[in-house]
């Protein structure tokens, strides 16, 4: 049994919640609260799913503009990944090839080169562009 989208029901949801372009942090917080409420419901009707998708799009647009994520340096990205994964420099010796080199990179005394960026990206299962050289 497939559920069908009901435009009248969706119109009532839109009238009740009145979603619009988000322009302030307060509006963003209200939209986030509504998204969380919808996400915690066990069964959404198609119209609620559509409203949820709309709200997420509006939140993302606002946050991309007002809270941009700055691109980190290769060193800061490596340090973050190591900390998040509880990875020691010694664990990366086989990735980089030398304990001395990995310690220099971790200490910020040496930059990550292209081959190392690719090896680290492979190790962490990420795109090498996260380690721009």
More confident: 115 or 70: 115
Task: Return the structure tokens found at 129.
Answer: 């562009």
Tokens 């606002």, located at residue:
62
Residue 96 pLDDT grade (very low, low, confident, very high; cuts 50, 70, 90): very high
Say whether pTM exceeds 0.85.
no
Q: What pLDDT was estimated at residue 73?
A: 86
Is the separation of the CB atoms in 34 and 56 below 8 Å? no
Give me 95's structure tokens.
């990735």
Task: Write down the pLDDT at residue 29.
Answer: 95
In the predicted structure, residue 122 carries a pLDDT above the cut 80: yes
Choice between 13 and 127, residue whose per-residue pLDDT is larger: 13
Fold (topology level) of 74-130: 434 Repressor (Amino-terminal Domain) (1.10.260)
Q: What is the mean pLDDT of residues 118-128?
A: 90
* pLDDT greater than 60 at residue 50: yes
pLDDT of res. 133: 66
């Amino acid at each position: 049994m497939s559920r069908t989208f009901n435009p009248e029901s969706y119109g009532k949801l839109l009238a009740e919640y009145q979603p619009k372009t988000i322009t302030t942090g307060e509006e963003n917080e209200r939209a986030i609260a509504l998204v969380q409420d919808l996400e915690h419901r066990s069964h959404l009707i198609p119209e609620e799913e559509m409203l949820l998708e709309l709200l997420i799009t509006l939140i993302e647009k606002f946050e991309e503009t007002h809270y941009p994520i700055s691109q980190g340096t290769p060193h800061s990205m490596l340090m973050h990944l190591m900390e998040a994964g509880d990875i020691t420099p010694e664990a990366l010796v086989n990735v980089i090839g030398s304990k001395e080199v990995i310690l220099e990179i971790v200490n910020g005394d040496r930059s990550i080169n292209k081959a190392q960026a690719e090896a680290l990206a492979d190790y962490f299962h990420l795109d090498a562009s996260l380690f721009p050289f």
